[in-house]
Amino acid sequence: MLLHGYYRSSAVFRVRIALNLKGLAYETVSHHLRKGEQRAPDYLALNPQGLVPALETDDGLITQSLAMMEYLEETHPQPPLLPSSPGDRARVRALALICVADIHPIDNLRVLKYLRAAFGQDEDAIAAWYCHWIREGFGPLEAELAGDPRTGRFCHGDEPGLADVCLVPQVVNGQNYKLDMSPYPTINRIFDAAMALPAFERALPKHAPDAEA
Ligand SMILES: N[C@@H](CCC(=O)N[C@@H](CS)C(=O)NCC(=O)O)C(=O)O
């Protein structure tokens, strides 16, 4: 498989973790997001959204990190990223979507660029925006995780799964913006448990082949 990405991208970070958890080998192509390489004509021809990640597979190109992770789960079911019962699967998907659908899209690079270019916002305002939307997601996520007995060492039970794969990059994004994580003890505990696993640690941006010094 060939993963189109960029080391700092948290959506790509998710896919690196999922590939590592599944024990799957892959190669990478880097598209420097700050230089706008995701909008180069040859990449747009591949992925008209002009976003990373994109994953080239034997079944064709897959865009959208969640679709990739579901694809990996279906083609390589072991170890599972989703639990076996429909209710539990729905819970894990819902937890994952807090990061994937509710937090990440409004903190994306193109949104921040638009805030600067169209509304003249400075870096303090950008940081306030960025952290606000993480707090909006992490508050309810913390409450859900802390209040549900299905939460274990990880978001769901004692093995890492899809919700953890999506949570960890979002926490790292918060750390990059110096977000105060003290209101989220359960999230912090799960983050620490995940980072103790090589599949998560090796997927960190700093270990990606295109990481900059
Ligand atoms: N929903 C998409 C989001 C992909 C996405 O927004 N990727 C970001 C990097 S984390 C990107 O390519 N940003 C480029 C830009 O904003 O121009 C997914 O999960 O794959």
Per-residue pLDDT of 124-166, as tens digits, reads 999 999 999 999 999 999 999 999 999 999 999 999 999 999 9
Collect all residues with Cβ–Cβ distance below 8 Å to 15 and sequence separation of at least 6: 3, 5, 53, 55, 65, 68, 69
pLDDT of residue 212: 86
pLDDT of residue 75: 98
Which residue's alpha carbon is at the smallest distance from atom 10 of ligand 1? 9
Q: What is the pLDDT of residue 173?
A: 98
Measure Cα distances from 152 to 148, 155, 156 in Å: 9, 6, 6
Q: Is 103 in the pocket of ligand 1 (CB under 6 A)?
A: no
Rounded to whole angstroms, the Cα distance separating 209 from 212 reads 9
- Say yes or no: CB of residue 173 within 6 Å of ligand 1: no
User: Model pTM greater than 0.85?
Assistant: yes
Q: Which atom belonging to ligand 1 lies closest to the Cα atom of 14?
A: 19
Ligand 1 centroid distance, CA of 200 (Å)? 20
How far is it, in rounded angstroms, from Cα 81 to Cα 72?
A: 9
Q: What stretches in the chain show pLDDT beneath 50?
A: none
Q: Which helix (H) or strand (E) is 194 found in, with range?
A: helix 185-195
Q: Is the CB of 52 under 6 A from ligand 1?
A: yes
